[in-house]
Chains A and B, each alone.
Chain A
Amino acid sequence: MYSFEPNEEQKMLIDVAKRYAETDLRPAAHEAEEEGIFDPKLIEKGWELGILQASIPDTYGGFGDRSLLTSVLALEELAVGDMAGALSILAPSLFVTPILIAGTEEQKTNWIPPVIEAEWKAYTAAMIEYAYDYDPNELKTTATLDGDSYLLKGEKRFVPFADQAEAIIVYANLDGKTQGFIVPKGLEGLEVGEREATLGTNGLQTFSLVLDNVKVPKANRLGGEAGHDFAPILAAAQTSLAAVAVGVARASFEYARDYSKERFVLGSFIAQKQSIAFMIAEMAAEVEAIRLLTWEAAYMLDKGEETAAHSAYLALMGAIDMAMMVTDRGVQILGGHGYIREHPVELWFRNGRGIASLTGLVMG
């Protein structure tokens, strides 16, 4: 039977994430963006909220079962605080979650506990590539079998914390299928490139990564010898990115809503003018619609429904347009003030555009 009410545990987690987003992430967001770095102490504090740990079973060092729906609820709240901050805190999930979804038992016991049981450390993943038609299902980076190893070759972009990563999941094209490979630091041919400069989310440190025939043991292929199905990993990435979009859009909507009730122009508050009020009503409706689409995708994925991958795809397609529509209006409602970097709406506007391009940068 349909219900739209989170359970008690989820409500608690939402609350925790919300409070942290309000008191820590939001106040730090502007400086992090300008300086290009998030205060590591703040990341550690966010890590200690246990949002990722709560969805890792205790056999692997966590304290809960995986629920993408629960993650999505928390992720949205964090992203309301700041997108770069949310992505920084959850970078280790880019490494752990695919292993949890698709790894062999051995991979899980070897790789998950050291991440989950310790303080925040840089674990990450490399999926994104430079191409106008970047497609996680048809990557240009290749994996070729070479005796007991795979050779990885190609170039990845926007890899979070690549410079300090303990290990990275690198996605590559193996005979036409996308497969993940666990790549520990220090392998020969693995070159961390330039710090990336992007339209938004500069508080998240990302790097380019060159793989020049990096030799990875066969055992490091996600899922072992037989490999794995990439679809559930991609679906989790799409759904999570959609949740981030909802968070960013909500931030912009809420800020513009409050501002419009205080800004007095030509005899009334701007919120009292229909052209502004109507925008606000449409923003609220669109955010909520895509939010529910995202919840549905997460719910379907958790249930293992056949149509889940399509739901996730649909949610992201919706989130791309919604995020841009809402964050654009956020700037517009503040007028000239919206264009000034003192107000956060311009940052959300820049971040909002990222949703179209950043599949693989977040996974709850």
Chain B
Amino acid sequence: MISFEKSKAVVQAQYLIQTVADNMMRPVSRYFDEEEGEIPWDYIEFMHGALRQMGSASLTPDHEKQKEAEKAKKPRQAYVVMAHQIEMLSWGDVGFYLCTPRGGLGSAAVESAGTPEQKDKFLSILNGEKPIFTSMAITEADAGSDNSAIRATAVLDEETNEWILNGEKIFVTAGRLSMENTEGYTVIWASLDLEAGRSGIRSFVVPAGTPGFKIAKKEEKLGIRVSDTVTFVLEDCRVPYDHILGNPKIEKSTEGFKGAMQTFNVTRPLVAATGLGVARAALEEVKKMLEEQGVVLRDGLPRNKMTSIERDVIDMERMVRSSWLLTLKAIWMSDNKISNAKESAMSKLHAGDVSSKVTQKAVELLGPMGYSREFLLEKWMRDAKITDIYEGTGQINRLVAARAILGYRGKDLR
């Protein structure tokens, strides 16, 4: 039965996180944007404590709870709740959201590709006394959009039963938080056999402090400056045998790679949610600031009676709302185990456009005030732009969506 009713869990989550956003993010948003490289420990400690207390309401779906719900034949909603949390955190400050402990792309990879033992080992440590971060390193200097082109290698040392990793990874989100500032881990994508192409690619858990691992560079960025983005260098970096996620055998099929790609079906709508949180923030701020300057935004007028500002604001509003519904539907499909490669790519490409357009329009609409660093509008425009770049650029998501729509494979459309 079609329903647009928010569940209690969603309402609660939104309420809680809005409080966090109002008190712990917005007041220091500007500071951390200007002081690139400083770590928002207050926020991190607070979130870690809060998420620990809430237990199940953490930012990674609780699989025990999910299973219980399934048994009780209750509808699953963990991802829908999570999308709301992420949207609201990003409404507060998307850079801060990326500095939220426990979750992160690394644990998501363990979650989707790990064995039960690996999940036990690498997910339970997130729950400890001290905050822990995880990250995921796929991108290399010569392998961005085309992540099958990665050159990092993993070789098994049969004597010690360890994997030896070598290579260089760039643009790792929370690389420093996971590997330098906390006792976390990263998940490295590397090839078991460079000749084997996609089917040779596996991912490996590398804990902080592993010899042979180092951080080589910290990027300075357009936006989301509070979130660190770094380069990893791995030189004969050794991890135990059971740190490989998934099947260690190289088979002809590319199932392993496809499995990894399926993680994107969940993460893409969640990234869409981050951009839409920023866009909603910008939209609300624009309305507020315009009203403060005496602009009355009338509701319900036909197009041809509106002022140009009224028209822009309505366009922004319907873009944000429709894109959000597209995102919700994609993530709702994940909860309900309906295959959603098309929908998740569509939500990401749509939200990538919408978050960029809306935040850019917001700056334009406020004139010199929009351009000023006295207000957050210009920051949100910089922050929002990343939505259309990581987790597959807008172009890559167009390819993925188009293939699904047209029934094409990679070789048919590239």
Q: Does B402 contact A (CB under 8 A)?
A: yes
**Residues of A close to B326: CB separation below 8 A:** 285, 288-289, 292
Known pairs A278-B402, A317-B315; A3 contacts B2 (CB<8 A): yes
Interface residues on A, range: 35 or more
Contact B399 A135 (CB under 8 A): no
Kindly specify which of B134-142, B173-181, B233-241, B300-308 makes contact with the partner chain: B300-308
Q: Does B323 contact A (CB under 8 A)?
A: yes
Known pairs A289-B322, A292-B322; A4 contacts B303 (CB<8 A): no
Give Cα A359 to B303, complex, Å: 12
**Residues of A close to B325: CB separation below 8 A:** 289, 292-293, 296
Contact A4 B406 (CB under 8 A): no
Q: Which of B296-338 contact A (CB under 8 A)?
A: 299-305, 314-315, 317-319, 321-323, 325-326, 328-329, 332-333
Give Cα A288 to B399, complex, Å: 17
Give Cα A315 to B345, complex, Å: 23
Q: Which residue of A lies closest to B407 (CB)?
A: A261
Kindly specify which of B3-11, B254-262, B287-295 makes contact with the partner chain: B3-11
Contact A296 B4 (CB under 8 A): yes
Q: Which residue of B lies closest to A272 (CB)?
A: B413
**Residues of A close to B401: CB separation below 8 A:** 281, 284-285
Give Cα A1 to B349, complex, Å: 26
**Residues of A close to B304: CB separation below 8 A:** 132-134
Contact A4 B2 (CB under 8 A): yes
Kindly provide the distance from the CB of A108 to the nearest chain B CB, expressed in whole angstroms: 27
**Residues of A close to B317: CB separation below 8 A:** 314
Kindly provide the distance from the CB of A256 to the nearest chain B CB, expressed in whole angstroms: 11
Contact B77 A1 (CB under 8 A): yes
**Residues of B close to A289: CB separation below 8 A:** 322-323, 325-326, 350
Q: Does B357 contact A (CB under 8 A)?
A: no
Give Cα A4 to B80, complex, Å: 12
Q: Which of A249-297 contact B (CB under 8 A)?
A: 257, 260-261, 271-272, 274, 277-278, 280-282, 284-286, 288-290, 292-293, 295-296
Interface centre among B2, B305, B314, by most A CB within 10 Å?
B2
Interface centre among B319, B321, B343, B406, by most A CB within 10 Å?
B406
Known pairs A2-B7, A271-B408, A314-B314; A135 contacts B301 (CB<8 A): yes
Contact B5 A281 (CB under 8 A): no
* B3 CB contact (under 8 Å) in A3, A282, A285, A293: A3
Contact B4 A2 (CB under 8 A): yes
**Residues of A close to B398: CB separation below 8 A:** 274, 277-278, 281-282
Give Cα A272 to B325, complex, Å: 29
**Residues of B close to A290: CB separation below 8 A:** 322
Kindly provide the distance from the CB of B393 to the nearest chain A CB, expressed in whole angstroms: 12
11 contacts between A and B (CB under 8 A): A1-B5, A4-B333, A7-B1, A133-B304, A135-B301, A277-B413, A278-B399, A288-B346, A293-B325, A317-B303, A318-B319
